[in-house]
Chains A and B, each alone.
Chain A
């Protein structure tokens, strides 16, 4: 583990609201993207001439395209309700990480250019021209927002700082200021088909290896099919599920569930990525381009339905945006909800008696559940509001005997982000990632101490990658993090009731 050049909060089990510490993380900035990463996405390569005016012009364009931005710029009364709700503020004390202050970085430019008071009175009306120093603040603090929407829950006007961050990033991209991590990855997914740049041969290898592995371990020929035309189900999984742990154990879980259900399914090498970083950079067009591969793959393979794996922001894009981006679903079987979350599929199967489970297989675990921010506050599962909370929990209860909740202010709609969402899962932002996980770390520590929890299940590729990387900085064992379907996988008795 590389040595950190900042202090890590001590674990007390308590989430404390810090005193403000101006500029505490002003130095944390993303690496700038290379010119070709920007141009590949249709953005200018480097900083454009006259960029201040162009940025303002873009802001004007977005104000006309997004009701959210327009209403949010006017409506904030600076009541302060959101000020202590962001995990990045709690972890850093930097006042610009208070959601309202983050918004104000944009709002001051908005006032200067789109409000007569700001035009007339300038600083007295809280207005400021776009400038290098404003852009520096944007680049820092709009990349210290994981777009988790926790702030929006507590805002009397539903102001969602995620929307503001997305708009800010789109404005930055439009003048040639790109973030390397997101833009580079988007280049890969739009050309190769997944965020890792994993080619078909490598993917086929991995899946084959997994098949052998599972067969060796269980004696059952559980398949991980790739590019099978005419399969019923297209599985779209985050590419991390193909190689890192505990993601891969989750993928194994999906495969076992399909095996037991007796459905024919396939992964697509053309659309081998569930993640859609187009959302993080606020670009509707990029998001649509990325999602389009999934539509094309589904049509090409002739599947009846699309089921998706465990990933938070990707589930938001799929559940909330796909219908708009790549619908209508006239090429799929209308009998099924599109998309279906793997947890919905698994629970339904369990409830219909289609899985034989041995809960005691997970008896050495005391499990708690981390609600992923985007699943919790930007999507749904099942038919009822809040199904996104109940369905994963119902799955856990069906496969584990010991389940306990973390503090109620840190779960369900109040859940804290893992600290790595929103396109921040990159090394140069490590300080903000480590500090941002602190509320979740404290809540986890508390149930470990009091209730003997040793496992935290998650349903998001970013959460899993972030937790396994940053929780050890607090002294946690990275094995505490588990995939939901890893728990399912461990409890399934293969060959129990095939074909239901």
Chain B
């Protein structure tokens, strides 16, 4: 703890605390999904008849949002762009936690191209689109609750503060990396006292804490949805309900 400022100590505690809470609750929830029994076979058919087939179906859902694509092309477009951009942005941010920086991560900051940065811009734009859509389509407006706008705004603000730091209010990237790498290697270092970075970080921490208590749990849920993960082999294999009385 030698040489750490008071501000740094507070933020280091917040970072570890938020991350620990996120991880603990997220894992507890996923554990709950995993161990809760499926009394009956309920795949939405036509469904694959083999485990390999189910892996393919799931890959389609997770990587391409196939069911959403069937449902609504415009929502798919907005949602898909957002998630793709988010993935690129997260990949880019790994450079703050890894040393040396692996190639795919380095590519996201390729000088002159900066795919990771542009992904950030796309991400914020997609979020804006999804936000407007919630107000625009009467059906979607009806079902939207405060939490839906809140989370779009929260992630949008995280993106915006990130973009601001990149283009307008430059941050000392070296100092940031020293701080984040310190967190990752459990050798905490001082936090750069730059307001925009601190706001960015606070928003991220808020998101982390909010995440496992919210609909963002779809990240875990998608892998446990019986209508998609079950193999259609009802006649061939007897599925047993562990809590059946008879």
CB pair A80 B29 closer than 8 Å: no
Q: Select which of B32, B75, B147, B234 is within 8 A of A81 by beta carbon.
A: B75
CB pair A117 B214 closer than 8 Å: yes
CB pair A154 B213 closer than 8 Å: no
Known A20-B138, A75-B218, A156-B68; judge A83-B143 contact (CB<8 A): yes
Q: CA A115 – CA B216 in complex, angstroms?
A: 13
Q: Is A116 an interface residue (CB 8 A)?
A: yes
Q: Select which of B145, B220, B224, B240 is within 8 A of A67 by beta carbon.
A: B224
Q: How far is the CB of A313 from chain B (nearest CB, A)?
A: 13
CB pair A67 B37 closer than 8 Å: yes
Q: Within residues 42 to 69 of chain B, which ones have a CB less than 8 A from any CB in chain A?
A: 42, 44-49, 53, 61, 65, 67-68
CB pair A323 B36 closer than 8 Å: no
Q: Select which of A125, A337, A376 is within 8 A of B235 by beta carbon.
A: A337
Q: Select which of A77, A85, A155, A163 is within 8 A of B42 by beta carbon.
A: A163
Q: Within residues 291 to 350 of chain A, which ones have a CB less than 8 A from any CB in chain B?
A: 292, 319-321, 323-325, 327-328, 337-339
Q: Render A85-99 as a binary contact track against B, CB cut-off 8 A, 1 for contact.
A: 100000000010010
Cβ contacts under 8 Å, A239 to chain B = none
Q: CA A22 – CA B224 in complex, angstroms?
A: 33
Cβ contacts under 8 Å, A339 to chain B = 235
Q: CA A115 – CA B142 in complex, angstroms?
A: 22
Known A323-B239, A377-B45; judge A156-B217 contact (CB<8 A): no
Q: Within residues 220 to 249 of chain A, which ones have a CB less than 8 A from any CB in chain B?
A: none
Q: Within residues 369 to 397 of chain A, which ones have a CB less than 8 A from any CB in chain B?
A: 376-380, 383-386, 388-389
Give the total of A residues in contact with B, Cβ under 8 Å. Answer: 73
Q: Select which of A70, A124, A413 is within 8 A of B146 by beta carbon.
A: A124
Identify the closest chain A residue to B35 (Cβ): A67
Known A125-B147, A376-B45; judge A159-B138 contact (CB<8 A): no
CB pair A126 B147 closer than 8 Å: yes
CB pair A67 B48 closer than 8 Å: no
Seed contacts A101-B143, A154-B72, A380-B47; 7 additional CB < 8 Å A-B pairs: A20-B139, A68-B226, A75-B218, A80-B133, A157-B228, A378-B42, A378-B45
B residues sitting closer than 8 Å to A (CB atoms) are 29, 32-33, 36-42, 44-49, 53, 61, 65, 67-68, 70-72, 75, 79, 133, 137-140, 142-148, 213-215, 217-218, 220-222, 224-228, 232, 234-235, 237-241, 243-246
A-B contact pairs, 29 of them (CB 8 A): A19-B138, A65-B39, A66-B39, A67-B38, A70-B36, A71-B224, A71-B226, A74-B217, A79-B72, A80-B137, A82-B71, A83-B139, A84-B139, A98-B139, A117-B213, A124-B146, A152-B44, A152-B227, A154-B72, A155-B68, A156-B61, A156-B71, A158-B44, A158-B225, A159-B227, A160-B42, A288-B246, A379-B45, A384-B49
